[in-house]
Structure 1
Amino acid sequence: MARLAVAREAAEPSSKLQRQKYVRMLDAATDLGSQYEFDQVQMLDVAKSAGVAIGTLYRYFPSKHHLFVGVLTRQIDAMGDRLAQVGRRCESPLEATVFVLDHALHQMLRRPRLSISMITAAYTARAVGTVPVDRIDDSFRDVLIAATRLDPPTDLDLTLLRLVVQQWFAIVQSCLYGALDVEQAEADTALACQLLLARLSTVRGLTH
């Protein structure tokens, strides 16, 4: 397992040129992460592939965990708007949540090596606490809020959605490592949503 770098603030791109470099770094990590295991991806190779200096890479991503958390966050953001729009067409908040999570599952399974690297980075970062992962939770939560038409969500709603996302990540990880097949992963996701979202405010509102 790669070591986490000493905790320091990651820079955010502010200019057009910086944003272009930032995107190239994430693109390079995505490409290399799709081909190689997490421990095999080297930051120097990412920098070379992105056409940036190694110092530039470390400025925005102080560790490989920062980098792959960034890749995961971007993937969630990229599919978020479209999934939320389609999810709003579902007949119920439960159906919308299952739809979003099933689609996200299949997206993760398209590039299993990359997905394992992203989940590894996120879990390790969360445990150690030196890499900010709140944006992953916030992005996924916002997609589900939009898809389920929670306006506004209650504190309980937010807690329930957080628990669903946590369970979904565990299901995806089991599927990626071969402990579950896709059909079982989808069935487990549906059951988890049924159990955890029974007290969702929109669900209560629709049943009275």
Structure 2
Amino acid sequence: MFRLSLVLPLAALLVPAAASAAAPVLPLPVPQKQGTVSVESALAARRSVRAFTNEALTVAELGQLLWAAQGVSGPDGKRTAPSARHLYPLELAVVVQNVEGLARGSYRYVPARHALELLAPARGGDPMLTRATSQPQVHAAPVVFVVAAVYERMDAGARSTTWTDYEAGLASENLLLQVVALRLAAVVVGGMDPAAVREAVRFTGHERVIVLIPAGHPAG
């Protein structure tokens, strides 16, 4: 089974050094750019999976999935998913429910730094997205990716929504193919309350939630 090696000490992630009191930033392991699964194999194997085991993800796996969706892939700052006029309206967050060495809570992905910024710690025993959806796969998955957008960034008039939603689809498919390459599983979930998701993860700007993608180790 292909697994990425964790290059950062887990202890550093248990008690991260905060860049500021309000927004601790956690650097992620350097993403891998060569794997053992071909694009063709990943395309053929990709399926929607709604049942996950209790096995945790590693921080390296989480970082690789985030990078596949929105990571910087070149010195010019361009990302893995194309964006019209390189305006990058997407915001990618992740609800961490079971990741080795990483506290439960919601985090924003910071592509330029390949890092996580804490949005809100989990409180109590209930899943963070309980009020946002009743779909069990969301609450059972070790991680739930939240694909959102600030549509105003696209600045393309009537085409802003179309172009931004198209970009969200491109980033989501990148993530889904990386899931297959890591021998993991995922499913796209549209049956949720976007406003409740936004409140749960503690987005603070003009982000609008588009879709959720729970991911983990497949059951069965």
TM norm structure 2: 0.30
Structure of greater relative contact order (alpha carbons < 8 Å, 6+ residues apart): 2
The structure with the largest alpha-carbon Rg is 1
Q: Which has the higher helix share?
A: 1
